[in-house]
Amino acid sequence: MNGLLTFLSLVVGGLIVTAVPPLVAPFEAEYGVVSFFDASKAVLLCAALAALGGWYTSKQGVHGKFLLKVFIAALLLRVVLGTIIFAFKGQEFFGGDALTYDFFGLAQLKAWGGDRYQAVLVQRFVGSGGSGWGMVYMVAAVYGLLGRNMLAVQFVNAVLGALTATVIFLCAQSVFSNSRVSRLAAVAVAFYPSLVLWSSQGLKDAPIVLCLAVSILATLKLGEKVKFTYILVLIVSLFALLSLRFYVFYMICVAIVGAFIIGMRSITPLSFARQLLLIILLGLGLTYLGVTRYADQQLETYGTLQSVQRSRRNASVSAESGFGRDVDVSTTAGALTTIPMGLIYLLFAPFPWQLASLRQSITLPEMVIWWASFPMLILGLWFSIRYRLRMISPILIFTVMLSLAYSVFQGNVGTAYRQRAQLLVFYFIFVAVGYVLMLERREERKRRQVAEKEAFTAASGLAVHRR
């Protein structure tokens, strides 16, 4: 298996270098710009990052070999899909935001070089910190290293998406200590179609999901033992989230603080003091990075129900896939009454009767898989709440909060489908728990039936012997 994956990696890399068209952005023609790039640079950057991710993955004890295979396979799948999207100019079809980040990433690079006009342009886009300035910086950094190269950005995201499977494995293993659950969750994250799709493009979904998973993992580890490394990792991942999608940052912070207050292990005076110290250190670290300044700007601009209503209204009327266009969430009562319908769309859309285009229709196979998995999600969630409530508290608090928030301000099926990825990686942990519970019950029934059959056979033989 290792030999096959190595061979495939070499073949894929070679094909990309020799077969990808030389234009970095064929759609640039409409802007009167033509720029060239070297595909080998994108492949080399991908290989370097993959080597780091593979090294980290392989160091996970007895599970390292399995996780390394999953990581490489997941990465190859994302690289191939990303290359196809790039070569056939599918950015607008699959995720038009990639073109936006390409444009403003290049503008940011020029702004760093002293171009004041480009600096103003970028500042207008990122505004008060709510427009993903972290992704703009990431694209600019890649372009500064390699030149304008959208494929390289896609490959960076491919590595981040593949690495997320490893981090989710570690999260599940930390909570449940069950390799079957952890492996199943990792495989689901590695190969579920929409997670592959969003992490194969120049979108901010891949870094957001990875930062969320890393934040949860660091929180779980800190619940076991205070370690400076995990404190630093947590602060960095949270700040990265703030730069990518600010409202997710606030929700994960609430979940983390709530988990520290509740305690992920049995509460003792020492553990309580430790958790209080962690909260203080976390607050000081984020304050040092300027979070309070961003918070003031963002809450002033976006922190009202009226702002949520405007955003939801725009999303619902801007595309044919909008829903709930007559809904008003500008009041508390209106927001609360929207939650049931919003949750249904967030969890289950698009529905079969909404598949009116090719882009919507290609989601049907994976939606069937997700709908079939939902009973296992409920079973796994029930078991986790009953037996692992403290330990799953950061995951549970975050997923509940974000699910409710998206149910209120999402008014577009396509957007809900895309942003569900931020929840799916954690949902899959509970799906894996439910599946393993069902599997173990089935195995227990078989063992019981075999034992009963053996007992009956033994009893029958004894009766014959007595005769």
Q: What is the pLDDT of residues 50-66, one digit of tens each?
A: 999 999 999 999 999 99
What backbone phi and psi angles, to 5 degrees, belong to 177? 50, 40
The string of DSSP codes covering 146-195 is HSS-HHHHHHHHHHHHHHHHHHHHHHHHHHH--HHHHHHHHHHHHH-HHH
Question: In 161-300, where do the E strands start and end?
Answer: none
The string of DSSP codes covering 412-457 is BHHHHHHHTHHHHHHHHHHHHHHHHHHHHHHHHHHHHHHHHHHHHH
The more confidently predicted of residues 446 and 142 is 142
Cα distance between residue 187 and residue 373, in whole Å: 14
pLDDT recorded at residue 87? 87
Q: Where are the domains of the chain?
A: 1-203, 305-467
pLDDT recorded at residue 24? 43
Share of the chain above pLDDT 70, in %: 82
Mean pLDDT (whole number) for 104-122? 92
H/E stretch holding 395 reads helix 389-409
CA 131 to chain centre: 18
Using 50, 70 and 90 to split pLDDT, how confident is the model at 316? low
pLDDT recorded at residue 459? 66
Which residue type does 200 have? S
Using 50, 70 and 90 to split pLDDT, how confident is the model at 448? confident
Least confident of 74-83, 151-160, 276-285, 389-398: 276-285
Per-residue pLDDT tens over the stretch 1-50: 666 776 677 777 777 877 776 654 444 444 444 445 678 889 999 999 99
State yes or no: pLDDT of 454 exceeds 80.
Answer: no
What backbone phi and psi angles, to 5 degrees, belong to 318? -85, -10
State yes or no: pLDDT of 462 exceeds 60.
Answer: no
Cα distance between residue 225 and residue 211, in whole Å: 21
Question: Token digits for 229?
Answer: 């490394």
CA 15 to chain centre: 29
**149, 143 contact by CB (below 8 A):** yes
pLDDT recorded at residue 228? 87
Per-residue pLDDT tens over the stretch 361-391: 788 888 889 999 999 999 999 999 999 988 8
State yes or no: pLDDT of 216 exceeds 70.
Answer: yes
Cα distance between residue 227 and residue 321, in whole Å: 47
The string of DSSP codes covering 341-382 is HHHHHHHHPSPGGG--SHHHHTTHHHHHHHHHHHHHHHHHHH
Instruction: Output the average pLDDT for the chain.
Output: 83
Cα distance between residue 238 and residue 252, in whole Å: 8
